[in-house]
Amino acid sequence: MTLKIIALYTIISFCWGITWLFLKINVTQMPILWGLSLRFIIAGIIFWLIYFFKKNKVKFNPEIQSIYIVYTLFNYTLCYYLTYWGAQYIYSNLGSILYSLSPITIALMAHFFLTDDKLNRKKILSMIIGFIGTILLLYNGNSFGGEKVFLGIFAILLAVVIGSWPTIYIKKQRIKVDPIHLNAVGLSFAGLIILLMAIIFDKSSFSQINSNNIPSLLFLAIPGTVVTWGIYIWLLNHLPASQLSYVAFFPPIIAIIAGWVFLNETLSLISLFGAALIIFGGFLINYKSKN
C-alpha cells in the first residue's frame, strides 16, 4: 500500500469507528426515518457542492446508471435502514464488530460472481474462524442490549449481506465511477426515498428533532458519511474488492473503546475473544505473504 492509501485507511477507520458511537446516540434521540433521511440529504448536498466545485462531468450511460441504482437501493437505503433499526437494540460496539464480517461476506460473493476472485483454502479457513468468532460473540448476546437484542443482531447481519453486494456489483461491471458524483446521486435519492417514508409513516415524530440531537446528526452526515464514503468509493476504484475490505478491521477496536468510555458498554471475555476471531478471520482472508 502507498502512503496515501494508508493515510486514507486511517481516516476512514477512525471516522467509521466513532460513527457507531454517534449512531447509537442518534437513534436514541431522533426517529430513525427522520434521522437517516436528514443525514443523507445533508451529505448529498455537500457532495453536490463538491462535484460542481470540481467541475467534473460524468457520462450517465446505462452501465453507470445500473451501478447508481444498486448503490442507492441496496447500500444507502436498505442496508442503512436495517443498520439504524438494529442499532436501537444492541450495543454500538457490537454493531461495528458484526460489520467486520463484511470481508468474509464479500469473499463468498466474489467466488460466485467474480471470475478472478475465487475461494481458496485460506479464505475457507478465514470463514470458519469468522463463523466460530460469531458464535462466541453471540454466546452472551442477550447481555448486549434490551429484550429485542437478537432482532437487532439479525438486522445488522442482514445489512452486512445486503451492503456487500454493491461492492461486488461494481467490480463485476469493471467500470470506474466518480466517487463524488456517485455519492451525490445515491445519497440524495436515498435521502428523498427515506424522507418520503418518514412523511408517510412517521410524520408526527418530526417534532422530536431539536438542538439536542443536531450534533450527532451533523457528525453522521459529514465525517460519518461525506468523509467515509468519499474515501471508500475512491479506494474501490483503485483496489481489489477483497483488499478494500481491510477497512472493516480497525473500526471495531475504536468502537469498543468509544462504547466503553462514553456509553459504559462492556463485553465479556468470551465475547471479546469472539470479536477478535471475527476481526482475525477478516484479516486472514486478505493477508498475502511476501514469500
Distance CA 170, CA 159 (A): 18
151 pLDDT higher than 80:
yes
Which residue do the cell numbers 494508508 mark? 6
pLDDT at 185: 95
Burial tier of 120 (Cβ tally within 10 Å: 0-12, 13-18, 19+):
exposed
Distance CA 122, CA 72 (A): 33
For residue 81, name the pLDDT band (cuts at 50, 70, 90). Answer: very high
Question: For the ranges 41-45, 85-89, 277-281, which has the lowest average pLDDT?
Answer: 277-281
40 pLDDT higher than 90:
yes
From residue 13, give the alpha-carbon distance in Å to each of 68, 167, 223.
24, 18, 11
Which residue do the cell numbers 446521486 mark? 185
Could you please report the per-residue DSSP string of the chain? Answer: --HHHHHHHHHHHHHHHHHHHHHHHHHHHS-HHHHHHHHHHHHHHHHHHHHHHHT------HHHHHHHHHIIIIIIIIIHHHHHHHHTTB-HHHHHHHGGGHHHHHHHHHHHH-TT----HHHHHHHHHHHHHHHHHGGGGGGSBSTTHHHHHHHHHHHHHHHHHHHHHHHHHT----HHHHHHHHHHHHHHHHHHHHHHH-GGGGGG--TTTHHHHHHHHIIIIIIHHHHHHHHHHHS-HHHHGGGGSSHHHHHHHHHHHHH-----HHHHHHHHHHHHHHHHTT-----
87-107: buried (b, 16+ CB within 10 Å) or exposed (e) per residue?
bbbbbbbbbbbbbbbbbbbbb
For residue 127, name the pLDDT band (cuts at 50, 70, 90). Answer: confident
Question: For the ranges 90-94, 104-108, 177-181, 234-238, which has the lowest average pLDDT?
Answer: 234-238
Q: Which grid cell is 177?
A: 465511477
Better pLDDT: 284 or 17 = 17
Q: Which residues contact 111 (CB under 8 A, 6 or more apart)?
A: 117, 118, 119, 123
Which residue do the cell numbers 436515498 mark? 190
pLDDT tens-place string over residues 9-30: 889 889 989 999 999 999 998 9
214 pLDDT higher than 80:
yes
pLDDT tens-place string over residues 217-262: 999 999 999 999 888 878 877 776 656 666 767 888 889 889 999 9
Better pLDDT: 79 or 12 = 79
287 pLDDT higher than 80:
no
pTM of structure: 0.87
Average pLDDT over residues 178-182: 88
pLDDT at 171: 83
1 pLDDT higher than 60:
no
